[in-house]
Structure 1
Amino acid sequence: MKNKFAKVALTLTVAFSAVAFSTIEKEKKTVDTSTSKVTWKGYKVTGSHEGVVDIKEGHLVFEGDKLTGGEFVVDLTTISATDLEGEYKDKLDGHLKSEDFFDVQKYPTAKMVITKVKSTGKNAYKVTGDLTIKEKTHPVSFELSVYGNKATGAIKIDRSKYDVKYNSGSFFKNLGDKTIYDEFDLVVDLNF
């Protein structure tokens, strides 16, 4: 009986030691909002426009050197076109901030919460997250590369899911060359 008890105690000690030494701490790495960048590009029948929007705050979560999660808040009040100047730039910037598009007075931020991360290779991940714009939340998936203290990804977003309807062919018929396509692109360059 003593021998049996000693074996059980030894087994438990080894098991607890293995767990204690194999537990990897989660590390939350804060995004440097002054050097990180989000660029956008929207498309219409007659061309496209592009610009930037600031990250208000964010972080990535790692276990060891593996990405496991994260969360970001984008300041929509900073949305700005970079392909125009002067009066045309001011008009587009104002229009994007208006109720026709992002209604930044009522909804000043958008948020992304990473819900799933799958490694697809060295430094490469397939990321799924919940994106909230104008209080509407939908899942999005995208590829993200992480090298050292930098992460880069590209996301395609369908604005119609977030009640951004202006000149959308999904909501209005016979727009002709006034149609603005529902999908727009974001390229995210993060430093942390």
Structure 2
Amino acid sequence: MKNFKSIALALVAFVSFAANAQSKKVDVSKSKINWVGKKVTGAHEGTIALKEGAIVFKGKKVVNGNFTVDMTTINTTDLEGKGKANLDGHLKSDDFFGVEKFPTATLVFKTIGEKSNGVYAVTADLTIKGITNPIKFELTVDGNTASTTLKVDRTKYDIKYGSGSFFSDLGDKTIYDDFELTVKLVF
């Protein structure tokens, strides 16, 4: 009987939380993810599409979030023609993101702390190529939008091509380990 009361109490608490929480689906057609990858001799930039996502609010505070990125949409925007096609193809290959085997990447919020009104310190699990690692970033929420910038160490996801951390004598062919994502979500 005591166990039943504990289970009933836990269920009431969960239902109460769920009733107060509101999930807002991200409008993927209006949301944007831009990427920048740098190398010794310069940088490349582009876009990648969000497949789906939601931010969960309790009142006006963010309490959760989860997102799926369509890795097959990697698109270089600073090149045209053959150079663009070659780089897009290489980024989608097993040297980098292996999109044939891993067509999506995910980000799932784990802990959220409010830093100031509308600004949150988020720790999330980022999964790329089936490998999950924690990542920390600030999320700014303003009305029906949220934005952030994330720095991702690609080598933590077994993306070592051209990395000076793993290969010597690359010279000016070295590609830096970190890439940056600038994200604007509309919900």
TM-score by length of 1: 0.87
Gaps of 5+ in 2: 1-12
Q: Aligned partners of 1:27 and 1:173: how far apart in 2?
A: 51
Tell me the CA shift for residue 169 of structure 1: 1.0
Q: Residue 125 of structure 2 corresponds to which residue in structure 1?
A: 130
Tell me the CA shift for residue 122 of structure 1: 1.0
Aligned-pair identity (%): 55
Which amino acid letter does the alignment assign opposite residue 86 of structure 2?
Answer: K
Q: What is the DSSP-based 3-state SS (H/G/I as helix, E as strand, rest coil) of the residue aligned with 1:91? A: helix
Q: 1:116 aligns with which of 111, 114, 118?
A: 111
Q: Aligned partners of 2:30 and 2:84: how far apart in 1?
A: 23
Q: Aligned partners of 2:23 and 2:103: how far apart in 1?
A: 25
Equivalent runs, 1:173-188 vs 2, <5 Å: 173-188=168-183
TM-score by length of 2: 0.90
Q: Residue 54 of structure 2 corresponds to which residue in structure 1?
A: 59
Q: Aligned partners of 1:146 and 1:168: how far apart in 2?
A: 35
Q: What is the DSSP-based 3-state SS (H/G/I as helix, E as strand, rest coil) of the residue aligned with 1:131? A: strand
Q: Residue 172 of structure 1 corresponds to which residue in structure 2?
A: 167
The reply to whether residue 90 of structure 1 matches residue 85 of structure 2 is yes
Q: What is the DSSP-based 3-state SS (H/G/I as helix, E as strand, rest coil) of the residue aligned with 2:168? A: coil
Which entry has the higher C-alpha Rg, 1 or 2? 1
Kindly report the root-mean-square deviation, in angstroms, between the aligned alpha carbons of the 2 structures.
1.3
Count of residues in Structure 1 that have an aligned counterpart in Structure 2: 172
Gaps of 5+ in 1: 1-18
Q: Residue 31 of structure 1 corresponds to which residue in structure 2?
A: 26
